[in-house]
């Protein structure tokens, strides 16, 4: 690969890191071509991009960004693959990795960046797979906000009926 090709690859990778604020760096060393193709198909079906990249190119791309990815650099060893996830589905790669590892040993999570948070090590995979998307969180918040209003309206309706019944009974007794 020529120097110009490497520069172009770093620029393309930098644009991808800007476009996708959520990414996972994994150790894919030792995977067969068939395993890699199966993993790529899972990613394609889920709308997640997977790219094999040299660690030095990943580092140069991350260093060119405004964010601080200092904690990630120590994990840039062994062959690496990068999963790029959208903001709507930050846990997608973690779920795919877990699904894939039911029948395979790799990929092993090295580090993941979700928005501005960095998760390091394979033990964070479960935590990452449990992350909710922005849409799920907004839906939960709306549900929580609507719940008290529904309870008040329900109480007013039911107590209004009870109150009317009590008034009717009292008025009948006085007659």
* Domain at 3-131, CATH homologous superfamily: Ribosomal protein L10, N-terminal RNA-binding domain (3.30.70.1730)
The predicted structure's pLDDT at residue 154: 63
Spatial distance between the Cα atoms of 51 and 90, rounded to a whole number of angstroms:
17
Spatial distance between the Cα atoms of 92 and 86, rounded to a whole number of angstroms:
9
The predicted structure's pLDDT at residue 106: 84
Instruction: Map out the domains of the chain as residue ranges.
Output: 3-131, 132-175
Tens digits of residue pLDDT in 93-117: 889 999 998 888 888 888 888 877 8
Tens digits of residue pLDDT in 113-163: 887 788 888 887 787 877 776 676 677 777 777 766 666 566 556 655 666
Spatial distance between the Cα atoms of 15 and 3, rounded to a whole number of angstroms:
19
Using alpha carbons only, what angle is made at residue 18 by residues 132 and 38, rounded to the nearest 5 degrees? 65
Per DSSP, the residues of 31-50 read --HHHHHHHHHHHHHHT-EE
Residue 24 CA, chain-centre distance (Å), reads 10
CA nearest 83: which of 35, 55, 127, 47? 47
For residue 4, is pLDDT > 70?
yes
């Amino acid at each position: 690969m020529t120097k110009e090709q490497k520069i172009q690859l770093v620029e393309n990778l930098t644009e991808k890191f800007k476009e996708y604020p959520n990414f996972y760096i994994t150790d894919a060393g030792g995977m067969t071509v068939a395993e890699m193709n199966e993993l790529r198909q899972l990613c394609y079906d889920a709308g997640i991009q997977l790219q094999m990249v040299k660690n030095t190119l990943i580092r140069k791309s991350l260093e060119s960004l405004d964010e601080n990815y200092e904690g990630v650099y120590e994990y840039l060893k062994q062959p690496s693959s990068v999963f790029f996830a959208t903001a709507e589905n930050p846990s997608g790669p973690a779920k795919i990795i877990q699904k894939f590892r039911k029948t395979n040993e790799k990929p092993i999570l090295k580090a993941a960046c979700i928005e501005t948070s960095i998760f390091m090590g394979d033990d964070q995979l479960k935590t990452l797979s449990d992350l909710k998307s922005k849409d799920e969180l907004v839906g939960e918040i709306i549900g929580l906000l609507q719940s008290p209003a529904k309870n008040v309206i329900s109480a007013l309706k039911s107590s209004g009926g009870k109150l009317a019944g009590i008034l009717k009974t009292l008025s009948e007794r006085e007659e």
